[in-house]
Amino acid sequence: MLKFRSIALAAAAVAVFPFVCLGADLSQLEKSVLSGDNSASADAVVQLCALSDSQAGPLLIKALSSPGVQARKKALACLGNSKNREALPSVVKMTKDSNTVISGAAFEALSAYDDMSAVGALREIVYSNEDFEYRKKAASAIGAMKKAEIARVFIEDAKNPDRRVADRAAMVLVHLRMPGAVRPLAEAAKSDNPVLRQAALDALSASAEPDAEKIYVELVNDAQAGSAVRLSAAKSLAVIASTSAMAALESFAGNEKEDPALRAEVKKLYKSASSMGIMKYLSFFLIGIILLGFWWMQKQGANF
């Protein structure tokens, strides 16, 4: 019986030992995080990031008060990547930090959350803050998120009869870069609402999504879309200047059933894009000739 009790106590000690050690380690990490040693505090945050969110979360939130800039920056990145809900108010607060490195890292962390809770916090900044640059950073953080449904939130906001709200929603739309946003933006570009329409067109013009070209072609050929929308789509195709994009522009410019004024504008875009394409190929050709010349000169020098 005594032997069994000894074995049980030993087993319990073995089971508890890691947690005792972890508690001691966390205590030491907390001291390092809040110390005045920038290097030690940053290293401590890196170690915390390797732990589970439940273990490290509270200390990472405390790390946001660290004197070390790198420690705070790394803590923000870790909290954003782990999508720590308890940390969200603290991360939002850090967007107001006087150090632009920290405020920028806080906005990046909010983008990494990539959900409606972070969108709500950023949306509040966009709609309530009077500092234009601060609002612009919030809009960029929203635009860097990945979920396409976020686009629909601001498309609806841009329809708001309150022009102040609509204009600020439009600011967000222009920054949208998430995959899947092109289709709802294309629909928004056909809106009768001038604020929403222009914001959607600007956002489409800046989109690098692979499906964008296909949607631009659809818009160019959509007689119900309106001249402004179709011309904006044509401009985007001229910027892309791929073989298929150029074919779509050439086809539209040669379609006598289309509006003559719009056809003339598209024709100008086609000619300009064609010229730029020729110049690009000529540049590559000349660079090739120059490189070939250098190679020949080196070869000749080696023969002497």
Evaluate whether residue 89 is within a structural domain.
Answer: no
In the three-class reduction of DSSP (H, G, I as helix; E, B as strand; rest coil), residue 124 is classed as helix
CA atoms of 140 and 172, how far apart (whole Å): 7
Specify whether the CB–CB gap between 80 and 109 falls below 8 A: yes
Instruction: With a cut of 50, list the residues of the chain below it in pLDDT.
Output: 2-24
Q: What is the pLDDT of residues 246-260, one digit of tens each?
A: 999 999 999 999 999
Specify whether the CB–CB gap between 51 and 21 falls below 8 A: no
pLDDT at 219: 86
Evaluate whether residue 168 is within a structural domain.
Answer: no
Evaluate whether residue 173 is within a structural domain.
Answer: no
pLDDT at 139: 93
**What CATH number is given to the structural domain containing 291?**
1.25.10.10
pLDDT at 47: 86
pLDDT at 130: 93
pLDDT at 56: 78
pLDDT at 119: 93
Domain that holds residue 286: 210-297
Query: What Cα–Cα distance (Å) separates residue 218 from each residue in 188, 227, 242?
Result: 14, 13, 16
Token output for 215: 């949607």
pLDDT at 268: 92
Evaluate whether residue 251 is within a structural domain.
Answer: yes
CA-nearest of 224, 225, 218 to 252 is 218
| Global pTM exceeds 0.75 | no
pLDDT at 2: 44
CA atoms of 267 and 272, how far apart (whole Å): 9
pLDDT at 149: 86
Instruction: Count the domains in the chain.
Output: 1
Helices within the chain (DSSP H only): 2-33, 38-49, 53-63, 69-82, 88-94, 100-113, 116-128, 132-143, 149-157, 163-175, 182-188, 194-206, 212-220, 227-240, 243-253, 260-303
Specify whether the CB–CB gap between 172 and 139 falls below 8 A: yes
